[in-house]
Amino acid sequence: MAGRLDRDAAVILQGTLDMLVLRALQLESMHGWGITERIENWSEEVLCVGQGTLYPALYRLERQRLITSSWRTTENNRRARYYALTAAGRKHLTQEIKDWHRMSRAINLVLDAVKG
């Protein structure tokens, strides 16, 4: 299993966190802990999203009207704020994914330009 990103490499995550959160919410509405777990599981435990990073992102996405939130009861009978993707959020995510694939392809082209 690959290790988690070190502190310096995790800076990259800040630039992509909004996209990862929107992607985590694409399938269903979730509370913060669920979003964190989904990102960590999907990244095979490489990406670690702390509460101090996640909640400012959630508030920012809500202000941008890309997600909404509402209070609900969890399966453990606790109250938690659940976040859901809006139609604008779905559209934004689709464009972000396209942009990400284009950019990551370009970066890979540069990294692979000179071979041993």
Q: Which residue has the tokens 């209070």?
A: 71
- Binned at pLDDT 50, 70 and 90, residue 36 comes out as very high
56 lies in a domain? yes
57 lies in a domain? yes
Burial of 31 (0-12, 13-18, 19+ CB in 10 A): middle
Single pTM value for the model: 0.85
> Phi/psi at 5 (nearest 5 deg)?
-65, 140
- The kind and range of the H/E element at 104 are helix 87-111
Number of independent structural domains in the chain: 1
pLDDT tens for 46-81 read 888 888 989 999 999 999 999 999 999 988 899 999
With beta carbons less than 8 A apart as the criterion, state whether 83 and 35 touch.
yes
Can you give the CATH number for the domain in which 105 is found? 1.10.10.10
With beta carbons less than 8 A apart as the criterion, state whether 36 and 49 touch.
yes
Domain that holds residue 88: 11-111
2 lies in a domain? no
Q: Cα angle at 40 between 11 and 34, to 5 degrees?
A: 115
3 lies in a domain? no
69 lies in a domain? yes
